Amino acid sequence: MDITHIIDTLNPEQRMAATSLDHNLLVLAGAGSGKTKTIVHRTAYLIITGQAHWHQILTVTFTNKAANELKSRVSRLLPNQQHAGTWTGTFHSICHKLLRIHAEEIGLPKNFQVIDTDDQLRIVKKIHKEMHLDEQQWPAKKSLNFINQMKEQGHRSFQCQDQSSAFYRTCGEVYASYEEHCSKNHLVDFAELILKTTEMLRDNEDIRWQYQTQFKHILIDEFQDTNKLQYTLISLLKHEQQRIVAVGDDDQSIYSWRGAIVDHMFSFEKDFSPVTTIRLEQNYRSTQNILNAANHIIQHNEKRLEKKLWTDSSSKEKIKLYAAYNETDEAQFVCDQIHELIRRGHTFEDCAILYRSNAQSRVFEEKLSQATIPYRVYGGLRFFERAEIKDIIAYLRLMANQQDNYAFERSINQPPRGIGRVTLDKIKHQAQLSAASFLDASQQCNISGKAAPALQLFYQLITDSIHQFGQLSLLIEHVIKETKMIAYLQAQKNHQTDAKVENLKELVSAAKHYDQYDSIQEALNEFLSHAVLDQNPKNEHAASQVQLMTLHSAKGLEFPNVFLTGLEDDLFPHKMTHADHKQIEEERRLCYVGITRAKQELYISYAETRRLYGQEMYQRPSRFIRELPQEELEYLRGNNAYTPKPKVKASYTFQLGQTVSHAKFGEGVVLNYEEDGDNSRVQVRFLNHGVKWLLCAYAKLNPV
């Protein structure tokens, strides 16, 4: 078959990566440089030229979506070829296939079952119960995370018998029991698929030789995301007659928190020598202005494999930089720009809003809903749909309405407080007998044991708290504190913990808008109504929706118009990374990923003040803004500094610098004013209470 259509559509570097057979290859594939196309065309080239049959090419990806895309595109390129015996898939699916083939040789029954995370959690909970571990003090997820981390590092339970602390000793015991349970019941979890396969190749020379000689060509996609165990697995398949191609981009390595080791990009040349390095630098996605910004930012990282993205695109659209007054103004700016883009002929799905932390989505969701802009939170839940938020909302619902049995059931044991199924059944039975709510019935039952004091504390929290606080934000802070929700989340020690804690703190910030209500009951009712209504249900199935997502979720995606938001020190880069140079470099790579998602227009924004953890904070622009090429920027509100002139609505008489008095906060000075109809707000610096934004309709400010 003619190979012209295989190689003629490739640029010189792509062609070299697709056809080179002399050495192993390290392909540095910059963002938007045609990485997938290169892998597809190399596969087709090997088949067409007779270098390999289908079963002699192993292609490893990180997602099923990527694997299916590769197989589909190869099929379109070679429509008349039979694809029997293809070995293209994720690390997990390839290892699953190998274990099925060799199950009996390594002591696995043919009918072994693969279990998911939920199945794992049920097993660990059973083990915890047998070991008499208190779920509140020692959540099952804590042990499960330890087990999976140890497996991903290649460690069995006998290697984890660390007696130096109660934590490691207990984790080791749980791991040993978990291994025994899985072995006895012929169960294999996801991490076990790779660990068992690695051990099989390491310990069985015949099987190792079989696949070293069968796989004449190995292609690894997203090589920068490999963890220790995956790198070991590939190393065991290495053979001098093979050609291994590692395709990746060290500048897009952003997953160290889940085990990815960017140093694998640097060690490949040594461990798989001889190696030829090929750089794919021509970008087919973004304008040159956007690429210049990305190149400038990433050059501040000290440890990287040098490359510079470029494009033939002639577009000269500058990057827009917006300095917002606060997070609400930032969200309003984004909505206004989306409407302008729609007016110019774009669709909603052409637009993506990116942020560092999940908690940032709340304000955008609120403003998008008000602006009737359909949206979707990609790869996650809307703010008020997140489990930790719904848990606290359940407490508030029960405080607002003690007849709410659904709220009682959700909140009674979240976090766990030792109130089990038997106790709940007694309460429900009593409620049925006396036609009472579950909360009232809980005081009518004869409950004994440790559940009794726990139930009493819960009852007091629900019935007494609302009378102790005059402001909704203080009430929510109290609920979070008294339930020990943050300590419970932190004890689980997984990569979602920080995001969940930030979401709870953002909930307090959201409640600040309701602190001006005269009645705590009125504030609570309004807030709960907002939580239900702020979910954009009418747009849920809209054909075209704005995409909201974290920067981590945006990896691998692209959009005509991107809003990169919240570029403030302590937010992005995240405050938890400041003390670690390696983590700062990963934050910079995350910024690079965000910038290179944009195809046509890129908007970058930051807020001068932001309500964080319930407090109004003055923010510093992110160091990443200072690292941008200034000639590529269009400042929409001044040069990194903006002194707003308050707009004064006829019904209000606030003047910049005016001294005013508030019934609760005392005297203060007007700093700013935002006109928004019934939602108009004034910013005041109070002598004893700091800077606050107040709703004009409720603030009742008087001039001094």
What are 663's strand-pairing partners? none
Alpha carbon distances (Å) from 229 to 5, 154, 614, 691, 696: 38, 6, 42, 51, 59
DSSP string, 473-508: HHHHHHHHHHHTHHHHHHHT-STTHHHHHHHHHHHH
Local structure of 89: helix, strand or coil: strand
625, 566 Cβ separation under 8 angstroms:
no
670, 660 Cβ separation under 8 angstroms:
yes
Which of 18, 25, 58 lies closest to 217 in space, CA to CA?
A: 58
- CA dist., res. 328 & res. 680, Å (int): 12
Q: State the catalytic residue, choosing from 38, 43, 252, 287.
A: 252
**Could you check whether the bond before residue 274 is cis, i.e. omega within 30 degrees of 0?**
yes
Confirm or deny that 566 is annotated as ligand binding. Answer: no
Q: How many other β-carbons are positioned within 10 Å of the β-carbon of residue 417? A: 20
Q: How far is CA 155 from the centre of its chain?
A: 27
Q: State the catalytic residue, choosing from 135, 189, 222, 391.
A: 222
CA dihedral 72, 75, 79, 85 (to 10 degrees): -130
What six digits make up the tokens of 313?
């695109």
- CA dist., res. 375 & res. 548, Å (int): 7
Confirm or deny that 170 is annotated as ligand binding. Answer: no
Which of 357, 439, 355, 444 lies closest to 404 in space, CA to CA?
A: 439
Does 36 participate in catalysis according to the annotation? yes
**Could you check whether the bond before residue 573 is cis, i.e. omega within 30 degrees of 0?**
yes
Q: How many other β-carbons are positioned within 10 Å of the β-carbon of residue 566? A: 24
DSSP string, 668-692: EEEEEEE--GGG-EEEEEETTTEEE
Confirm or deny that 380 is annotated as ligand binding. Answer: no
C-beta contacts of 202-209 below 8 A and 24+ residues apart: 202/236, 204/102, 204/105, 204/106, 207/102, 207/105, 208/236, 208/237
Give first-to-last CA distance, the chain, whole Å: 88
Confirm or deny that 35 is annotated as ligand binding. Answer: yes
Confirm or deny that 36 is annotated as ligand binding. Answer: yes
Alpha carbon distances (Å) from 479 to 406, 424, 492: 18, 22, 20
Q: State the catalytic residue, choosing from 42, 505, 588, 597.
A: 597
Q: State the catalytic residue, choosing from 36, 136, 232, 444.
A: 36
- CA dist., res. 147 & res. 145, Å (int): 5
The H or E element containing residue 296 is helix 288-298
What are 684's strand-pairing partners? 670, 692
What six digits make up the tokens of 602?
């890129």
Local structure of 536: helix, strand or coil: coil
Which of 506, 624, 565 lies closest to 331 in space, CA to CA?
A: 565
What six digits make up the tokens of 603?
């908007």
Does 597 participate in catalysis according to the annotation? yes
Does 221 participate in catalysis according to the annotation? yes
Q: Which amino acid makes up residue 378?
A: Y
What six digits make up the tokens of 274?
């001889």
Which of 529, 597, 522, 532 lies closest to 560 in space, CA to CA?
A: 597
Q: Which residues contact 657 (CB under 8 A, 6 or more apart)?
A: 669, 670
Q: State the catalytic residue, choosing from 135, 152, 221, 329.
A: 221
Q: Which amino acid makes up residue 127?
A: I
Q: What share of the chain is helix, strand, coil (3-state, %, to 5)?
A: 50, 15, 35
Alpha carbon distances (Å) from 114 to 98, 103, 257: 13, 13, 25
Which of 677, 643, 673 lies closest to 658 in space, CA to CA?
A: 673
Q: Which residues are annotated as a binding site for ATP?
A: 29-36
- As annotated, the active-site residues are 35-36, 221-222, 252, 597
Q: Which residues are annotated as a binding site?
A: 29-36
